[in-house]
Amino acid sequence: MKMVKSLVLGSAAALLAVGGTQAADLPVKAKAVEYVKICSLYGPGFYYIPGTDTCIKLGGYLRADVIINSNSDYTGNTSGAGGAANRFTNGYTWRSREDLNIDTRTATEYGVVRTFFDATFSWTSDTYAGQGNGSTVYSPIGTVSAPNNANSGAVAAGTVGVYYAFIQFAGFTMGKAVSQFSAPWANYPGNNYDGLVGGGGTITGVNQFTYTAQFGNGVSLSLSAQDQSAYYQAGVFNLGAPVTIAPPGALGIVGVSDYAGTIAPDLVAMLRVDQAWGLFQASFAAHDNHVAYYGGSELTGHPDDKWGWAGQLALSIKNIPTGPGDTINLQGVYTNGATRYNIQDLAGSAGANTIYGGTGIPGAYQSIGFGFAPDSVFVTGGSQQLITTYGFRGAYVHNWNPNWNTSIYGAWAQVNYNGTSKSYICGAGGTGFGGTFAPLLGGAANLTSCNPDYSIAQIGTQTQWTPVKNLTFSADYVYTHLDQSFAGTINFPGSAAIGKPAAVYELKDQNTHQLMFRAQRNW
């Protein structure tokens, strides 16, 4: 009987244990799912981040470009292999790009706190460079640390770029954004071309600390301190330093750049009136030119700082009689020692032009055109001589219908050196002998005019077709003319990287042109 009782109790305990286990495995009521909610406070496309009162919007575009007659993505064939006009000049350059931007907004008792981030992921075909021995190397850019170009093409031209990364709060903008000096259309008054002169740029953003006051009725005033080192330094040419001219440097044939460390940001003020009829904007910038040393050490001394400045007026006229949505955008600029506010950072080689062409002079191999636009030049023991520029850009945009539009655009910039700087470059007699231009001259040279002044003129047109919303196909053509003031011939040392031999070259104005086809899907 005892044994039976033990068996019964043991079986009951086992059944209770199994039952407990099964009860523990039974499903419990799930926590309610928190669905993403639409945020209508800041326009379409915003959603609440779950569990927060912050709204977020994702956006961007995918773009494919083909540029005819270019070694870069539509910034002008004005230097290097692009300006060589020979077998090193690409018949086309291809780029594919994805852009991603993230916009967040949060309402607070002090107003909206906004963050904005924009990055691009690009793949661009590159170019070949000569080695001076009958061989070439692909993608010569980015091989500084690679002996004998061993890593050429290893990364090729796949790049990541950070365009914008800023915070806005209570009227302040802090971070990387388009300069307050620039017009709302930045580099593009009515086109896709990156290389227009005649006004401020930084379409990829510049680090800044800005306060904007809103006065109502579309009137605002912005005061800004912005970084000059990445986009607003055109060069401080040390004409007294030894210059190696084989091939000429990216900054020029007359000197080397000699920047010191950053000491003062650029100071910008901008007044804008934005109305239904259009927009008016007046911009001013102060730019400190801060130089290192005359020679290789502190003992050689240095020139004092010199502040340059730039002023710009911009006007946009909307609702003109030619059709709904048609627009005229215009701007003009003047700079003294602040060249990048005119010849912006994407303007071809950004003020360092070396373009080749044909010649009709007996004994000359080819022709060449020079145009260099630094902020200042100086010689050992001398002060900085500021370079003056002025220019304009503009466009007319006509909408044929909701799916088609065409624009005509143009730009022009003049670069002037003062008398002292010209004497440094060309010598007292103005012939080039005795100045820093002299190393290019030889017995066969016949320089009839030595004058570093020059101008750039550009004219173009584009047509866009938008068959469906947010999908656009465009064709954009631009012609560029370099009007340089050197004349005669020089013994140019040549450039192995682009196959140019040491020979007699005629100094002559030059022309170049490009055509771009683009497909872009915004999302």
Give 343-358 as a DSSP string: B-TTSTTTSEEEEEE-
The pLDDT score that the predictor gives to residue 29 is 60
Instruction: Note the pLDDT tens digit of each residue in 438-455.
Output: 777 766 668 888 899 999
Residue 217, classified by CB atoms within 10 Å of its CB into exposed (0-12), middle (13-18) or buried (19+), is exposed
Instruction: Note the pLDDT tens digit of each residue in 122-137.
Output: 998 888 889 889 999 8
Instruction: Note the pLDDT tens digit of each residue in 311-349.
Output: 999 999 998 999 999 999 999 999 999 999 999 988 876
Q: What does the alpha-carbon distance between residue 354 and residue 250 come to, in Å, rounded to a whole number?
A: 9
pLDDT of 474 over the 90 cut: yes
Stretch 82-96: mean pLDDT: 93
The pLDDT score that the predictor gives to residue 18 is 42
How many distinct helices (H) and strands (E) make up the chain? 3, 28
Flag the least confident range among 65-69, 197-201, 304-308: 197-201
The pLDDT score that the predictor gives to residue 155 is 43
Q: What does the alpha-carbon distance between residue 29 and residue 265 come to, in Å, rounded to a whole number?
A: 60
pLDDT of 358 over the 70 cut: yes
pLDDT of 259 over the 80 cut: yes
- Global pTM value: 0.87
- For 18, the enclosing helix (H) or strand (E) is helix 2-25
Q: Are 364 and 394 in contact (CB under 8 A)?
A: no
End-to-end CA distance of the chain: 83
The pLDDT score that the predictor gives to residue 138 is 85
Stretch 480-492: mean pLDDT: 92
Quickly list DSSP for 353-408: EEEEE---STT--EEEEEEE--SEEE-TT---EEPEEEEEEEEEEEEEETTEEEEE
One-letter amino acid of 13: A
Q: What does the alpha-carbon distance between residue 414 and residue 460 come to, in Å, rounded to a whole number?
A: 19
State yes or no: cis peptide before 242, omega within 30 of 0.
no
Q: What architecture is domain 37-522?
A: Beta Barrel (2.40)
C-alpha triplet 307, 198, 458: angle, nearest 5°: 145
Quote the strand ranges of 81-179, DSSP E: 92-108, 111-124, 128-130, 136-138, 158-169, 172-177
Q: Where are the domains of the chain?
A: 37-522
Q: What does the alpha-carbon distance between residue 133 and residue 125 come to, in Å, rounded to a whole number?
A: 24
C-alpha triplet 334, 164, 258: angle, nearest 5°: 50
Q: What does the alpha-carbon distance between residue 134 and residue 496 come to, in Å, rounded to a whole number?
A: 10
Q: Are 337 and 289 in contact (CB under 8 A)?
A: yes
The pLDDT score that the predictor gives to residue 146 is 36
pLDDT of 473 over the 50 cut: yes
